[in-house]
Structure 1
């Protein structure tokens, strides 16, 4: 257990909460490691029927921590771990999601968000690309809509995220919406859940097998580029990047 990941359990459902509110749950090296360790514990514990991934504060995740980013290999490993975990993973979102946080959502099996949540692929605005997170996103999202939001960095709402395929459902009361879902998981056979999840994630894992090395290399190359340094400096300084016209 790590201070960055809150944990609790109720009737076989383990809740993991991103708890780095001072950085808006940005994906730092430490946060990625802590979440990976917690997921590994859940995968080995026969008493865990399902996992809920949620957050404290008003942001589910602000994306990569620009001051302490995880290695691309570590992020690939975390996303694959979510996809391969032999337990269903349910995302519960009551705040905003940016960039790498959308990769976490796409790697979960079922996703629910409040209607007030907002989403954006902001990578292009700081000089990089949504490379590694494309591994779970591209196989599951609508390609035409995805092209718009990948290329523009525009913000979109929860209803649009459902249409995109990034969310399962949106509701004013997320916990009420999740109650029948979690009840269904609790009533399901653990062996059957694991094998059914394997069927559902086969195409996503094919994408990991085929593209992970290339996308990891792309991410590393872009983050080391001069334009990315300008974009990140501008973002941290709360100014427009030099290329804005």
Structure 2
């Protein structure tokens, strides 16, 4: 089986590339496991100053893999490991991000995107709840915007994503925009960098620890519900769910 996460290291930066084009880099059990393994390897490498999380294809992450979903507890563990990693994690997005993929952005310390990227919390249209991802995202997002986009599943662009706090920055050339960011991380003392990350992620880590078990139970309950079965079936059959009038 081809790897679904590719790792490369250069100039103090480990780049982890989500590479599962068949399902648009969806959060399958295999992808979540591979990403957790790659993060653990980066954590143990003293040469690594920061991790860049990016993707192949036109989708950063499509959210849960509806055919081969990961366990919500494993996804929660992944988000915790990103937040707790002693190296900063930088998301580099040049495509679409949906549902659980937005949770990855929320867990990252810095998130940058190009102009063609789009975003949507699509859960409610499937009859499920954006439960686990709410832990890393609600501390970052404008509350009014979070309420709107969590509830309506509307798509929005990179400009709006930056305005509401989902993205750190957006630019026509995302790599040029990230160059000074990565250079700044390379120049930081590793112990100071790790402790500073702990300062800026304190609220996020607290939310994951405090609410994680409850949110994973909520996610699992809705994914197993009759409403979700109808919503997911309708998505595969390319029709509206029965509740749409």
Q: Normalising TM by the smaller chain, what interval?
A: over 0.9
What is aligned with 1:192?
192
Deviations 1:87-123 (A, max 9, x none): 0000000000000000000000000000110000000
Deviation (angstroms), 1:205: 1.0
Residues 39-83 of structure 1: per-residue CA shift (max 9 Å, x gap): 000001111110000000000000000001110100000000000
Where 2:70 maps in the other structure, the secondary structure is coil
SS class of match (1:112): strand
Aligned residue pairs total 244
Show the counterpart of 1:218: 218
Q: How does 1:94-133 map to 2 (within 5 A)?
A: 94-133=94-133
1:135-146 aligned at under 5 Å gives the runs: 135-146=135-146
| Secondary structure of 1:105 counterpart | helix
Return the offset for 1:237: 1.3
Check if 1:33 corresponds to 2:33.
Answer: yes
Cα distance, 1:203 vs structure 2: 0.7
1:136-195 CA-partner distances (Å, limit 9, x unpaired): 001111110010000000000001100111100000100000000000001111111100
What residue in structure 1 maps to residue 242 of structure 2?
Answer: 242
TM-score (norm 1): 0.99
Partner of 2:152: 152
Gaps of 5+ in 1: none
Residue segments in structure 2 that go unaligned for 5+ positions in a row = none
Secondary structure, counterpart of 2:201 in structure 1: helix
d(CA) in 1 for partners of 2:209 and 2:114? 33
Deviation at 1:133, TM superposition (A): 0.6
Q: TM-score, normalised by structure 2?
A: 0.99
Q: CA RMSD in A?
A: 0.7
